């Protein structure tokens, strides 16, 4: 059986195959194009895939000279070297099909030898790589476009890893213009080490919020440049994902908004001058009324010798002086910048302490204060006394809004791992929605004895704690004040 080979068939019976049949089977079924050219550069054999790649019938190729199809000096030189025994792998060049279409090919050349080892032909194995080359060129165009964007944009573009260190793996050349540092000096450094511990905590909170809610990572950052000047950058950070849909890196685009912020500050200063004028007029108006009373009752005190009347007039004078003192204190707390020292403290303990202060007033007005806390305690980095001042103001307003009695509901909920929401809801008379927008404006009040600074001061304190305050109210139904604050990550210690 020298001219055939034996293979196992079904039930282990031997089946004879002619080696030439096996070669023909492979030659005709392979996904690559095969061509054999003799030593005179004439085609002696091609497979169906070779014909399909170049759009010819077999009879249009066999017997013809290689130079009739290939007009490349490079290929001619390669063929001559193969005839000398060399092998070439994955040679890429372009060729025309019969229909004139230019295609990309990858060709491997090797010598074909007879039984004596003499080279008698050249074998070429061709693969059509047009589609992959198109994708490769498109990818290269995209890369070049991105390169042009990153090298010429004034925005700061950086990429950092989704690891504990948040290391930079890319920084655009624009960093050097602003910070005086080349990208090579930034790559490899930790983002968290560059922004400081307080901003690092805030940044990690934003990332955690994104993972839970998909909320965009947007924030503004004030930076001191090497020149000593202050710059304001507006950051927009987006994640990139791997094949497993896991966050792999983050792309940060920072825009220099210093000019815009400076212009806004200039406008704000002008607006502040206008507000100061309004505040001065408001203070003058608020103090004029008790001063008028003081002036009148002091004259009555001089003219009336009745002991009983004098005591009555003195009580009125003391009350009016207390009112002036309250107005001045509220105004000073609003206008005077205060140094704030943040400490770690339980949010619920602050609320409970506030309730204890106001419980007698609530009982006097037939008001019940009802609380709804989460199972675990929530800790903040805050100024406890300032937050207590805010909560006293909210609860006091709620009690005064229910002269006939009712309920004040205080609810605490953790929105995200580092965000807590506190709501204060009353069953009072409420406020017309059109008037809610004016609440918090200095000297605007809906109360007979109010001066309109309490909510203004409260909002200022909340903002100093990087929080947000919102007021919702409906006439005849009641009012809800919502406060959103940053909090520490949860621990296992439960409240109560």
User: For residue 378, what are its two tokens?
Assistant: 């929530």
- Under the banding of pLDDT at 50, 70 and 90, the label for residue 448 is very low
Domain tally, the chain: 4
Same domain? For 118 and 196 the reply is no
Same domain? For 203 and 114 the reply is no
CA–CA gap between residue 442 and residue 36 (Å, rounded):
94
Which pLDDT score is estimated for 380?
92
pLDDT: which is higher, 285 or 230: 230
Out of 110-124, 149-163, 316-330, give the one with best mean pLDDT: 110-124
Which string of DSSP letters, residue by residue, matches 269-317? Answer: HHHHHHHHHHHHHHHHHHHHHHHHHHHHHHHHHHH---HHHHHHHHHHH
Same domain? For 236 and 165 the reply is yes
Same domain? For 235 and 272 the reply is no
* pLDDT above 80 (res 245): yes
* pLDDT above 90 (res 126): yes
Same domain? For 100 and 170 the reply is no
User: Is 441 domain-assigned?
Assistant: yes
pLDDT: which is higher, 310 or 443: 310
User: Is 38 domain-assigned?
Assistant: yes
Backbone angles phi, psi at 469, to 5 degrees: -125, 140
User: Is 143 domain-assigned?
Assistant: no
User: Is 494 domain-assigned?
Assistant: no
Over residues 265-315, the pLDDT tens digits come to: 776 666 555 555 655 655 665 566 667 667 777 777 777 667 777 777 787
Same domain? For 92 and 60 the reply is yes
- The mean pLDDT of 9-18, rounded to a whole number, is 54
Domain limit, last residue, from 335, 367, 382: 335
User: For residue 446, what are its two tokens?
Assistant: 């809906």
Over residues 136-147, the pLDDT tens digits come to: 888 888 888 877
Same domain? For 350 and 388 the reply is yes
- Domain of 121: which CATH number? 3.30.450.20
Percentage with pLDDT > 90 across the chain: 26
- Under the banding of pLDDT at 50, 70 and 90, the label for residue 495 is very low
- The mean pLDDT of 345-354, rounded to a whole number, is 92
- Quote the DSSP letter at residue 326: H
**Domain housing 406:** 343-486
Angle between helical axes of 384-400 and 454-464 (0-180°, round to 10): 150
Percentage with pLDDT > 70 across the chain: 80
Same domain? For 478 and 347 the reply is yes
Domain limit, last residue, from 335, 354, 371: 335
- Domain of 303: which CATH number? 1.10.287.130
Same domain? For 330 and 347 the reply is no
Lowest-confidence region among 41-55, 223-237, 338-352, 429-443: 429-443
Same domain? For 215 and 322 the reply is no
Over residues 254-266, the pLDDT tens digits come to: 888 888 888 777 7
Which pLDDT score is estimated for 331?
59
Which pLDDT score is estimated for 8?
47
The closest alpha carbon to 216, from 224, 206, 226, belongs to 206
User: Is 491 domain-assigned?
Assistant: no
CA–CA gap between residue 409 and residue 368 (Å, rounded):
9
Same domain? For 232 and 268 the reply is no
User: Is 134 domain-assigned?
Assistant: no
Domain limit, last residue, from 282, 302, 335: 335
Same domain? For 353 and 478 the reply is yes
């Amino acid at each position: 059986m020298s001219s055939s080979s034996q293979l196992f068939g079904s039930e282990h019976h031997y089946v004879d195959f002619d080696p030439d049949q096996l070669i023909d089977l492979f030659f005709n079924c392979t996904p690559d194009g095969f061509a054999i050219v003799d030593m005179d550069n004439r085609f002696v054999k091609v497979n169906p895939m070779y014909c399909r790649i170049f759009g010819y019938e077999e009879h249009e190729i066999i017997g013809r000279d290689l130079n009739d199809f290939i007009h490349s000096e490079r290929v001619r030189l390669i063929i001559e070297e193969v005839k000398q025994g060399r092998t070439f792998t994955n040679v890429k060049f372009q060729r025309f099909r019969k229909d004139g279409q230019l295609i990309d090919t990858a060709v491997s050349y090797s010598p074909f030898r007879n039984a004596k080892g003499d080279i008698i032909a050249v074998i070429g194995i061709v693969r059509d790589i047009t589609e992959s080359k198109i994708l490769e060129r498109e990818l290269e165009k995209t890369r070049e476009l991105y390169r042009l964007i990153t090298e010429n944009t004034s925005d700061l573009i950086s990429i950092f890893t989704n690891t504990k260190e948040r290391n930079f793996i890319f920084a655009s050349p624009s960093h050097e213009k602003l910070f005086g540092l080349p990208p090579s000096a930034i790559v490899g450094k930790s983002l968290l080490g560059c922004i400081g511990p307080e901003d690092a905590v805030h940044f990690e909170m934003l990332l955690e919020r994104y993972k839970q809610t998909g909320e965009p990572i947007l924030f503004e950052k004030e930076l001191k440049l090497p020149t000593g000047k202050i710059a304001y950058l507006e950051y927009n950070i987006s994640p990139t994902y791997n094949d497993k849909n896991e966050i792999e890196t983050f792309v940060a685009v920072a825009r220099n908004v210093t000019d815009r912020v400076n212009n806004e500050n200039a406008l704000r200063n002008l607006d502040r001058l206008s507000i100061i004028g309004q505040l001065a007029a408001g203070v003058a108006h608020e103090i004029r009324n008790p001063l008028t009373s003081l002036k009148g009752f002091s004259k009555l005190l001089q003219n009336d010798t009745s002991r009983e009347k004098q005591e009555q007039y003195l009580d009125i004078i003391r009350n009016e002086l207390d009112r002036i003192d309250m107005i001045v204190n509220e105004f000073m707390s609003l206008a005077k910048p205060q140094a704030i020292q943040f400490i770690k403290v339980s949010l619920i303990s602050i609320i409970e302490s506030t309730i204890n202060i106001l419980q007698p007033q609530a009982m006097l007005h037939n008001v019940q204060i009802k609380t709804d806390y989460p199972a675990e305690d929530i800790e903040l980095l805050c100024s406890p006394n300032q937050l207590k001042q805010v909560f006293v103001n909210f609860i006091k307003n709620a009690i005064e809004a229910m002269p006939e009695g009712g309920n004040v509901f205080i609810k605490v909920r953790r929105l995200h791992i580092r965000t807590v929401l506190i709501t204060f809801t009353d069953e009072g008379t409420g406020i017309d929605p059109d008037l809610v927008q004016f609440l918090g404006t200095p000297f605007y009040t809906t109360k007979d004895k109010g001066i309109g600074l309490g909510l203004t001061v409260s909002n200022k304190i909340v903002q100093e704690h990087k929080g947000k305050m919102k007021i919702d109210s409906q006439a005849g139904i009641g009012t809800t004040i919502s406060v959103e604050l940053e909090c520490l990550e949860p621990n296992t210690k439960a409240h109560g």
